[in-house]
Amino acid sequence: MPKTKPKPRKTPSSSPQQTSFHHPGSLLSVNDLALEDIGHVLKLASVLETEDPLKRMKRLFKRRVSLLFYESSTRTRTSFELAAKQLGADTVLVSALSSSIEKGESLKDTGITLRALGAECIILRHPNSGAPYVLSRATGLPILNAGDGMHEHPSQALLDLRTILQHVRGAKAAGPVSETTLKGVTVTICGDIFHSRVARSNMLLLPRLGARVVLCGPSALLPETAADAGPGITIERNFDQALQQSQVVMMLRIQAERLAGLNLDLDEYKLRYQANAERIAAHASKALIMHPGPIIRGLEMTSEVADGPQSAIAEQVRNGVAIRMALLVRALTAKGKTSR
């Protein structure tokens, strides 16, 4: 069999593309946000974070927010719930295991039902890539994507961005951003890139601000084609070399059962890709170490690194609430093209 594979040319088909209407307050993909919008969200997050709690409660007082979760999630769900509550909104949690979803109701019908019950915004976590688009088309409501399949987790990428900016820019973290804001910053994302929506959102978002994204992992978890997902993305399979270039290192969770499917044993994986104290000290002693959680300690990362001085993991969690407050305010106050 000949192994020559033609490089795909990116010629859009000469056809009227179907364009769907999405509510301007929706966040389905990081690509929905112009740089200006990103700046607004970051600024709003900072304002809300330090705002007087009673004043903040009036922001979305008694507004109705539904959390529709088809997958279990502790961190993202709690983070969104806390964000909504701090803004005074009423939240309703609908999870797949305790609802008519279990009885076979479609996503479309569930969305229409929630809207009829008064939901003004739906936060969706779903195992299928693209599910938020289905929900958006069905309801016309602002939809916040809280993770869809292997596609995206945009609020995570924004909180990661805020975390990075706090370290790179310090006090100016809340200022406007441009395509050079992260110039000179290299971010390595290491682990199961293929299955990771966090990786996709970050690799699409960070290069737009000037960062270089280096992807690292074994080929079965990181296909070559990942480098074509957008500009500013490269692949480096040698973790030590990736670390040497990086100011920021994002480790991803590894599911042991996936390694088994790849004939890669845990020990071998750890040997090559684990963020441990020796490796970080040798190759990235100043880098910021991040992880979207949940961490499997002792697998992709050791406790020394997770709890060490370079770790930004707790900051990420804190930033999550601030970013999600900003996204909720944007979702529920957006009228024109962008949020205010």
Binding site for other proteins (CB under 8 A): 1-2, 5-13, 15-18, 20, 28, 106-108, 126, 128-131, 133-134, 138, 148-152, 194, 197, 200, 204, 223, 225-226, 228-230
Q: Count of residues for the chain?
A: 340
Alpha helix segments (H runs only) across the chain: 35-50, 53-57, 75-86, 107-116, 131-139, 154-168, 197-205, 239-244, 256-261, 266-273, 277-283, 303-306, 313-333
**At closest approach, how far in Å is the CB of 189 from other proteins?**
14
**At closest approach, how far in Å is the CB of 133 from other proteins?**
5
Q: Which is nearer to other proteins, 177 or 204 (CB)?
A: 204
Residue type, 5: K
Whether residue 150 contacts residue 174, with contact meaning beta carbons closer than 8 Å, is answered with: no
Q: Which is nearer to other proteins, 30 or 209 (CB)?
A: 30
Partners of 235 in beta bridges: 215
**At closest approach, how far in Å is the CB of 311 from other proteins?**
28
Q: Which is nearer to other proteins, 136 or 166 (CB)?
A: 136
Tokens 């939901």, residue located: 119
Q: Which is nearer to other proteins, 9 or 337 (CB)?
A: 9
The alpha carbons of the chain give a radius of gyration, in whole angstroms, of: 20
**At closest approach, how far in Å is the CB of 289 from other proteins?**
25
DSSP states of 170-219 as a string? GGGGGS---TTTTTT-EEEEES--TT-HHHHHHHHHGGGGT-EEEEES-T
**At closest approach, how far in Å is the CB of 301 from other proteins?**
24
Q: Which is nearer to other proteins, 55 or 108 (CB)?
A: 108
Q: Which is nearer to other proteins, 59 or 126 (CB)?
A: 126
**At closest approach, how far in Å is the CB of 292 from other proteins?**
15
Beta-carbon count within 10 A of 41 CB = 25
